Amino acid sequence: MTTPPLELRFEPVDNLRLANLCGALDENLRQIEAALDVAISRRGERFTVRGALASRLRRCCSASTSAPSSR
């Protein structure tokens, strides 16, 4: 059974922030892939993370977004 990919979207779109995150020719993403043993694909502000870590990241992200706001 394969782990479904984690899909992330950065909004609002900020090209400078995306450029800093991804690096020249997505070099920063390649370094993250190597360090975390995942595959990252990107199209604009949409990122897809595949690998064993993706399920853990999904649980972490869903827990942080479903937590009640303290504001």
Instruction: Judge whether 55 lies within some domain.
Output: yes
Instruction: Judge whether 67 lies within some domain.
Output: no
**Position 2 pLDDT exceeds 80:** no
3-class SS letters over 30-62: HHHHHHHCCEEEEECCEEEEECHHHHHHHHHHH
pTM, two decimal places: 0.73
Residues forming a β-bridge with 2: none
Q: Evaluate whether 29 touches 23 at the Cβ level (below 8 Å).
A: yes
pLDDT score, position 21: 93
pLDDT score, position 70: 47
Which range marks the domain in which residue 18 is found?
Answer: 6-59
Give tens-digit pLDDT for 9-62. 988 999 999 999 999 999 999 999 999 899 999 999 999 999 888 777 777 766
pLDDT score, position 71: 45
Total structural domains within the chain:
1
pLDDT score, position 69: 47
